[in-house]
């Protein structure tokens, strides 16, 4: 099956199609993780995006239910150098090709992915179109240009859960007892109640909270602060999610209203929203951070954590009020702000992904910090 990628600036890559036939439109971003293509594909933060994996061999170990970060893939399309038609791993339940086909994700393979990555690095992320049906270059480029730009787009609302639901250690998706997933070992601690805003939440975040002895109520993105406070949470969690933080003003408002009333922990989009709620600004990065090897320095301990990233936007550190806020984490590659903590109120957030999945576990401790913050607040 022939397949073509057209970028909005007219650059064309022709290769082989796998997965689902058809067309995909989205912002093209690259991810440098060597492992974890399934987690990446199912991370709702990738909604609206076509992902290029820099690792040239993708699909090798198949797919399995436990590695899903959401019930289905959120990426619009996948671009790889070589796509494995077979899977080899004891955990594999379905060959990656079948998986992508089943969930209607087109895969473009056999193109020079490195050339594409260099193009995006130089010219910044851009919109693109993958098609297995249309081979007319001009029409493909036109399609790429036709989609809305990510800037100013509120995708959190789109991917969020329509209704609230709860998640606890007993939940089948927590899969406690699976030695590869976070273990729930905190039975001696009292169970805390966390309300988690779902802007595109990853399943492993829920597992990590569960591991810290929390039962979690996941609520839709547009839930108001008073509705959350009615649930009597011990803490509020602000999840990751796709798109631009600025149009998510309803959440910014909610955060402002909860500030100081309940411990808050934000990740990724949740961090950006926190930044906005504290009066800061966000901006779009040229080609974003997407990968599992970013060095982030914890400015409080001086230690470097190797971390998983997935963000196109960031909080401008200059815009933060230094009297209220400590900048706690910084990316050593490009000095992007990666974490902040309020000096007096129970609130902290990080731009990157301490829940990993995929990625290193160096920053898992942040969930523990959140638990401690909630425990202290309770006393």
> Closest separation between CB of residue 126 and other proteins, Å?
16
- 103 to 21, 42, 367: CA distances (angstroms): 11, 10, 32
Nearest to 132 by CA among 16, 8, 13: 16
Q: How far is the CB of 293 from other proteins (least distance, A)?
A: 4
* Residue 268 is a catalytic residue: yes
Please, which residue, 181 or 214, has the CB nearer to other proteins?
Answer: 181
Q: Outline where the chain has alpha helix (H).
A: 37-41, 96-102, 113-123, 137-146, 156-159, 203-211, 225-230, 249-258, 269-277, 365-378
Give which of 270, 374, 284, 372 is closest to 45, Cα–Cα: 270
* Rounded least distance, CB 344 to other proteins, Å: 29
Q: Is 353 a catalytic residue?
A: yes
Residue 134: which of 287, 277, 3 has the closest Cα?
Answer: 3
Do 112 and 88 touch, CB atoms closer than 8 A? no
Q: Which chain residues interact with other proteins by CB under 8 A?
A: 30, 32-36, 38-39, 54-57, 60-61, 64, 66-67, 81-82, 84-91, 111-115, 117-118, 121, 179-181, 291-295, 297, 302-304, 306, 332-334, 356-361
Q: Which of 27, 69, 246, 355 is catalytic?
A: 355
- Whichever of 233 and 354 has its CB closer to other proteins, that residue is 354
Which lies closer to other proteins via its Cβ, residue 114 or residue 343? 114
Token pair belonging to 178: 């699976």
Helices (H), 147-248: 156-159, 203-211, 225-230
Nearer to other proteins, 51 or 356 (CB): 356
Q: Please work out, in degrees rounded to the nearest 5, the angle formed at the alpha carbon of residue 67 by the alpha carbons of 116 and 195.
A: 105
Q: Which is nearer to other proteins, 31 or 223 (CB)?
A: 31
Q: Give the residue among 138, 117, 114 at the shortest CA–CA distance from 126.
A: 117
Catalytic, out of 8, 268, 271, 294: 268
Q: Quick one: 60 or 161, whose CB is closer to other proteins?
A: 60
- 307 DSSP β-pair partners: 294
Cα separation, 233 vs 228, whole angstroms: 7
In the complex, minimum distance from the CB of residue 81 to other proteins, in angstroms, rounded to a whole number: 6
Catalytic residues: 268, 353, 355
């Amino acid at each position: 099956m022939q397949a073509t990628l057209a970028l909005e600036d007219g650059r064309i890559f022709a290769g082989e199609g796998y997965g689902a036939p058809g067309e995909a439109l989205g912002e093209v971003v690259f991810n440098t993780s060597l492992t974890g293509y399934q987690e990446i594909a199912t991370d709702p933060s990738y909604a609206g995006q076509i992902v290029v994996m820099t690792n040239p061999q993708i699909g090798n170990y198949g797919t399995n239910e436990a590695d899903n970060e959401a019930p289905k893939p959120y990426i619009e399309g996948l671009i790889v150098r070589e796509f494995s038609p077979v899977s080899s791993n004891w955990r594999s339940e379905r060959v990656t090709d079948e998986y992508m086909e089943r969930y209607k994700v087109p895969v473009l393979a056999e193109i020079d992915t490195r050339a594409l990555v260099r193009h995006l690095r130089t010219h910044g992320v851009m919109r693109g179109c993958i098609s297995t049906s249309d081979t007319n270059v001009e029409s493909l480029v036109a399609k790429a240009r036709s989609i809305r730009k990510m800037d100013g787009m509120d995708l959190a609302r789109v991917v969020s859960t329509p209704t609230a639901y709860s998640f606890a250690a007993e939940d089948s998706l927590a899969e406690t007892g699976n030695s590869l997933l976070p273990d729930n070992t905190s039975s001696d601690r009292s169970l805390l109640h966390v309300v988690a805003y779902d802007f595109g939440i990853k399943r492993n975040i829920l597992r990590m909270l569960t591991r810290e002895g929390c039962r979690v109520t996941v609520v839709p993105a547009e839930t108001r602060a008073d509705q959350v406070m009615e649930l009597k949470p011990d803490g509020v969690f602000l999840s990751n999610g796709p798109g631009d933080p600025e149009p998510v003003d309803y959440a910014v408002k909610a955060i402002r209203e909860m500030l100081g009333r309940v411990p808050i922990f934000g990740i990724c989009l949740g961090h950006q929203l926190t930044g906005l709620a504290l009066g800061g600004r966000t901006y779009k990065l040229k080609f974003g951070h997407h990968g599992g090897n970013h060095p982030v320095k914890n400015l409080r301990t001086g230690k470097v954590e190797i971390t998983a990233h997935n963000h196109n936007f960031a909080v401008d550190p200059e815009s933060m009020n230094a009297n209220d806020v400590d900048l706690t984490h910084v990316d050593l590659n490009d000095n992007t702000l990666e974490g902040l903590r309020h000096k007096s109120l129970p609130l902290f957030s990080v731009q990157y992904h301490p829940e990993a999945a995929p990625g290193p576990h160096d920053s898992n401790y942040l969930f523990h910090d959140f638990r401690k913050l909630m425990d202290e607040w309770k006393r």
